[in-house]
Structure 1
Amino acid sequence: MSGIVSASSPRQALRGAAGRVKHLVTSSPSRFAIVVFALLILVFTVLLSLPIASASGTVTPLSDALFTAVSTICVTGLATVDMANHWSPFGHVLIFLGVNIGALGVLTLASLMGMLISKRLGLRAKLLAAGDTNPLRAHGGVVNESQTVRLGEVGQLLTTVAVSALIIEASLAALLYPALVMAKVDPIAALWEAPYFAAMAFTNTGFAPNDGGVAVFADDYLVLFLLMVGVFLGSIGFPVIYTLAKHVWHVKRWSLHSKLTLVTTVLLFVLGAAAFLILEYDNPKTFGSMDAADTTFQAFFLSAMTRSGGFNVIEMDDLNGSSLLAASMLMFVGGGSASTAGGIKVTTLAVLAIAVWSEAKGRQSVEAFG
C-alpha cells in the first residue's frame, strides 16, 4: 500500500547519508575540513550564546558569540569581549575545549576517530592523513615516499599528535600550578588557571582567564618562562615533536624539515629579541624604565609571543612604529608547519632564504644540511 512506509526506509536513508558523508571525506578532504570547521563554529556559537555561558547569565550577542567561536576554533586569540570576566565557568570550559580541538586540526581528529572505530587506517585514509599532516606536501596527488611523513608512520604520527598535546599541556599545567601559587594566585583559582594557561600557550591562542592577563606576572620570570616554553613547543609543529620523540639524541636522524624548523625558529627568536632591544631600549613606556636584566628577558618574551603566542606584558600600542613593523614581520612568518601557530611558516622563510643564498653563490641546486 502507498500509505505504508517500509521498515527498511529509515535504515536505507541512514545508509545513504553515511555513504554521502564517506564520499565527501574520501573524495575531497579540503571540502570535508571546511564543512566540519563550519559545523564546529556553528555549535560553539550556539553554546556560547546560551545564558549559562556568560558570567552575567544573559544571552551573549550573536556577533560576539560567533567571533569568539571562530577565534577559538581557529586559535587566533582575537576577542571582542573581556575573556576573563565575560564568560562563566561553563563558557571558559567551552573556550578550553575549542582551542584544543582547533589546535589538533579537523582532519587529524577525523583520522584519529577513524582509527579508534576501525582499529586501523586504510590506504586511502593514510594518504589523506599524510597529506594533511605532511609539512613538505606542496601539491595534491600521490604522496611519494621521499616526503617527511611516510604512509607507515601516519598511524604513529596521529597518535603522537594526540598524546603529545595531552602530555605537554598536562606537564605545563603541573609546572604552572606551583608557579602561580608562588605568584600569590589563590590555590583554588590556580587549579583552573594552570591548565587554562597551559592550553592557551601550547595552542598559541593567548587568551587569559584572569584580570590583567599575563601583565600581572610581569616580574615573575618563572611563569613567563613556562609560557614561553609552551608557545615554543606549540609553534614547532607536531611532525617536529614526533621526530624529537623518536630521535631526540640522534641529530643525524632528524628530518630536513625538523632541522630547518628548529634552526629558523631559534634564529628568529634571537633576532627578534635583538631587534626589540635595539628599537625599544630608550622608550620610557616599554623598556626605557627597566634594568638590563628585565629589558633582555622582556625582549625575548616579546619576540616569542609576537610570532604567534598572543600573550603580552607590554601594551603593544606603546611600542615604537619601527618595533610594530618588526612585530608584524615576525607575525607574518609565524611558526612551523603543521603546528598550532599561524603565519607563512618558518620553513617557507628558510627555503626562500636558502634559495636566495644558493643563487648568490651560483649553485645549480638548493642545498641545506648536505
Structure 2
Amino acid sequence: MGSNARFPDACASLWIDGELVHLEDLVLHDAAKDVRAPTHELTIARDVLKTRRRIAAQLSGWALSADGLRGPGAKRGLQHQMVRPAPGGSDSGGSEVEAAGAGEGENNGNDDANPLDAEFAAIDGVLARSRATIEQARAPSLAGARERDPLVYDLDWDEDARLEEWRDALRQVQGLPPVLQSIVALDAWNEISLLQHAPWIGRLFCASILRQAGVTTAAHLAAINLGLKTIPVDRRRHRDRETRLLAIGHGLLAAAEIGLKEHDRLALAKTMMDRKLERRRTSSKLPELIEIVMARPLVSAGMIAETLDVTPQAARRIVLELGLREITGRGRFRAWGAI
C-alpha cells in the first residue's frame, strides 16, 4: 500500500486515541490550504503524518536505533531529527541568509566592507543556530516535561525510566519471531504509558520492527492503525494481557488484509486508466499522469502542472480525461487520487 496509506493511517491513529480527524481536512492542512483554523487533533494528525514520512525516509533500523531514540526519549529524538541543523551549525535558512548577505555585498560594490564579511558571517551563523534552537524548543521535549505547566504534564512522570523499562521489554523478546516482537513491544508501550501526550509513536515503532525484520519491504511502513481501528476498544484495552496481545495480533492481520485489498484496488484502477490510452496520440500526457497517480497517494493541479510541464488549466483537463477521484472538493485547492 506504501505511501497511499499515510493519510488514512494518520486519521486512524487519531481515531484509536479517541479523536476524529477527516481525511479531507488533513490533506488540506498538510498542503497549508486550511479553510479554517486547524484543531488540536488535526495538528496531532499532521505530526503522525510527518513522523511516518520521517521514519520511512530513513534506513529500516533507524527508528529503533540510538539515533532514532536519541535520548532521553523517542519523541524528542524523532522531532530533533526533523529540526536538526545542517553540518556547520546552520540550517537551510542560515544558508539563505548567508547567500543574501553575499549578494548585497556584491551589489554594493564597496571593497571597504570586505573586512567585515567575517563578522557578518558570524552573526548569520548565530542567527541560524538561534532559529534551530527556537524550533527545537517549540517541539515537545521529554527532558523538559517536568518544567512545563503542571496542569498539562504530570510532574512525577519519569519518562526516562519508562523508556528504559520499555527497552528492557524489547530485549526480552529479541529471540521471538518479528511479528510477535512487534505485538509485545506495542502492548508494553501502551501499558508503560511511556509518553504522556504521544501514545501514537508506539504504534509507529511497532511498524518499524516489522520493517526492520523484513516482514514489510524497506520502502514500506505498515499501516497498522488501519488494522487496529477494526478491533473493538474493549479488546485492545482489556485487563488480561493475553486478550490484548491477541487483539493486537488480529489488528496486524486486519492491516495486512486492508493492504492487500488496497493493492488490488490500485491494480484495477491502473487497468481501467490504461484502457483510456487506446487511440491516444503519442504526445498525450495521460501515460505520464497515470505513473504519477500510481506513485503518489494524492496529486494536485500544481503538482501535475510542474511534473508534466503543462499549465494548471491543462492539468485539470487531463485529470478529467483520466477520471480521477477528487479528494478535497475545494475550489482553492483540489487534490485527486486513484479511482
Does TM, normalized by the shorter one, top 0.5? no
Higher helix share: 1
Q: Which has the higher contact order (CA 8 A, sep 6+)?
A: 2
| TM-score (normalizing by structure 1) | 0.27
